[in-house]
Amino acid sequence: MLSTAMMMSARETNRIEMFSDSVFAIAMTLLGFGLAVPAQGHDPLSARLISAWPKYLAFFTSFATIGIVWINHHRLFTHIHRVSHGLFLWNGLLLMFVTLIPFTSGLVAEAIGRDDATTAAAIYSANFVLMTLSFNLLWKHATRYHRLLDRHVTPAMIHRINLQYGFGPLLYLVSFGVAFVSALASMTLNCVMAVFFGLPAFTLADAREHQTSDDADPASG
């Protein structure tokens, strides 16, 4: 009976992951549609390509950010063994903000150099704020009362990961504020954060190994 329930639960989490992976893949693919061959003109091709740098910067930043969220999303669901109605809702909220990124990315790429560039950059950063905030809410729901995580994920590990994930919305809030001063500075900051968050981080797997080493070494406590 227990094994049957576990199999049903696994199927439910797998369905969430498969659906979410599809949304992430479509959003990343749509970003590529925002890149177009430069129109014919008197300038050489190299000059026309260079003049389109805002599109390339927005593409790289958005693609990297979605990819990083997808990686963390996958790692999160490797530990979830029971779904709930709330989990569906929080996951759906996250995916909604992910699907907005191609739109806000194109918006800021087209606006750089114009008077309304700061507004577009603020909208772009706000999209990241809401996306990372919704990811944190999904994580908080999954860890509440340890209902959705396997028994190997300890409270100490959860606390460490809470700190890591909590930096996301705060840093993007900084970028949101900077956007009202300089759209280019805000875009650059978002790009830097995409690279930063893409570095080897304190993941669930890393936390588990760290916790194991702490338990094995009494002097480390």
pLDDT 10s digits, 139-161: 888 887 666 666 666 777 777 77
* Residue 104: per-residue pLDDT: 96
Task: Tell which wins on pLDDT, 49 or 23.
Answer: 23
Q: Is the pLDDT of residue 202 over 70?
A: no
213 versus 90: the higher-pLDDT residue is 90
| Residue 23 pLDDT exceeds 90 | yes
Neighbours of 64 (CB within 10 A): 18
What does the pLDDT read at residue 208?
A: 53
- Say which DSSP state 39 is in: P
Q: How far apart, in Å, are the Cα atoms of 200 and each of 66, 119, 153, 196, 220?
A: 16, 33, 19, 9, 22
d(CA 142, CA 79): 9
- 115 vs 172: which has the higher pLDDT: 172
The neighbour count for residue 148, using CB atoms within 10 Å, is 22
Pick 133 or 80 by higher pLDDT: 133
Please state which of the ranges 6-15, 69-78, 113-122 shows the lowest mean pLDDT. 6-15
Domain boundaries, the chain: 2-31+49-220
Q: What angle do CA 138, 142, 147 make, to 5 degrees?
A: 160
Q: What is the mean pLDDT of residues 33-61?
A: 81
Find the range with the poorest average confidence among 44-48, 177-181, 197-201, 207-211: 207-211
**Confidence class for position 201, pLDDT limits 50, 70, 90:** low
107 vs 150, residue with greater confidence: 107
Q: Which residue has the higher pLDDT, 45 or 16?
A: 16
